[in-house]
Copies of this chain bind each other. A is one copy, B any other.
Amino acid sequence: MADNFYIALLHYPVYNKHGEVVTTAVTNMDVHDIARAALTYGVKRFYIVTPILVQRQLVAKIMQHWQQGYGSIYNPARREALQIADIKGSLDEVLDDVAGNEGKKPWLVATGANLAGKLITFRALRVRLREESDAHLLLFGTGWGMAQQVLERADFFLESIRGVMSYNHLSVRSAVSIALDRLWGEGTDGDVH
Interface residues of A (CB under 8 A from B): 1-2, 29, 32-33, 36-37, 39-42, 77, 80-81, 119, 121-124, 159, 161-165, 167-171, 173-174, 177-178, 180-182, 184-189, 192-193
A171–B77 CA distance with the chains assembled, in angstroms:
11
CB-defined contacts of A189 to chain B, threshold 8 Å:
121, 123-124
> Which of B37, B159, B184 meets A174, CB within 8 Å?
B37
Number of copies of this chain that the complex holds: 2
How far is the CB of A187 from the nearest CB of chain B, in Å? 5
CB-defined contacts of A173 to chain B, threshold 8 Å:
33, 171, 173-174, 177
How far is the CB of A113 from the nearest CB of chain B, in Å? 11
CB-defined contacts of A169 to chain B, threshold 8 Å:
36, 39-40, 77, 80-81
Find the B residue at minimum CB distance from A33.
B171
> Which of B41, B80, B178 meets A164, CB within 8 Å?
B41
A152–B37 CA distance with the chains assembled, in angstroms:
29
A41 and B163 contacting across the interface, CB-CB below 8 Å: yes
A42 and B165 contacting across the interface, CB-CB below 8 Å: yes
A40 and B171 contacting across the interface, CB-CB below 8 Å: no
A42 and B187 contacting across the interface, CB-CB below 8 Å: no
A3–B54 CA distance with the chains assembled, in angstroms:
47
A42 and B181 contacting across the interface, CB-CB below 8 Å: no
B187 and A123 contacting across the interface, CB-CB below 8 Å: yes
> Which of B1, B36, B171, B180 meets A36, CB within 8 Å?
B171
A20–B21 CA distance with the chains assembled, in angstroms:
48
Find the B residue at minimum CB distance from A126.
B192
A192–B192 CA distance with the chains assembled, in angstroms:
8
